[in-house]
Amino acid sequence: MKEKIVVIGGGGHAKVIISILKKLNQYDIVGYTDPENKGEILGVSYLGNDDKLNSIFKDGVNNAVIGLGQIKSAGPRRKIADNCKNISFNLPAIVSLNAIINEDVSIGNGTVVMDGVTINSGSSIGECSIVNTNASIDHDCAIGDFTHIAPGVTLSGEVNIGNDVLIGTGSNIIQQINIPANTIISAGSTVLKSITKKGIYRGNPASLIKDI
């Protein structure tokens, strides 16, 4: 019997997650919650706003997935995760069948790994993070919690990234780089040296453009 799961969020990120869940064929998607009724999403029904989550759990749905993306701050996703944990939902890792994940890779609860991703040997991904479409994470990288590795990002080996970080679309990070928590690397940037101060970085090579 398939386990029941609810998707929290009804935007584009949630739609991609629903598609991945359907291909996995492991979960019965009972519906999605969102402040706004978006109608059916790939055949999945709207259940109401997040106030419905308590009753959904009481109806026997033990699993949830955070369907809200992360463009800047991880705060909204953290709030959802805290609410889920207070209700006692499980937040399973959701990994696309079209991702290439080495056998010794560690992926934390609540993390979503999208189509086309490669994660190589010795790497670890924290809890409730996003590894988005066609991202490449090479060997022995460590990614924190609530961090978004956006589409098309390339991490060379032994890169360490803290919690609540956004690595923007198409960015490249060379080997043995450290990036601290609460940092944003803007889309298309190239990081050639470790970052010691949180902030927004942009360019090739990436440099600080704004404190956070």
Res. 1 pLDDT band, cuts 50 70 90: confident
pLDDT at residue 59 in the model:
97
What are the residue boundaries of the structural domains of the chain, listed by start?
3-87, 94-201
Contact 90, 71 (CB under 8 A): no
Domains 3-87 and 94-201 share a fold: no
pLDDT at residue 147 in the model:
99
- Architecture per CATH, 94-201: 3 Solenoid (2.160)
pLDDT at residue 71 in the model:
86
pLDDT in tens, 185-205: 999 999 999 999 999 999 999
- Residue 126's region, left for phi above 0, alpha for psi from -120 to 50, else beta, is beta
pLDDT in tens, 115-134: 999 999 999 999 999 999 99
Contact 73, 149 (CB under 8 A): no
- Percent share of the chain, pLDDT over 90: 98
| pLDDT value at 13 more than 90 | yes
pLDDT in tens, 68-115: 999 889 999 999 999 999 999 999 999 999 999 999 999 999 999 999
pLDDT in tens, 29-60: 999 999 999 999 999 999 999 999 999 999 99
Q: What is the CATH number of domain 3-87?
A: 3.40.50.20
The model carries a pTM of 0.96
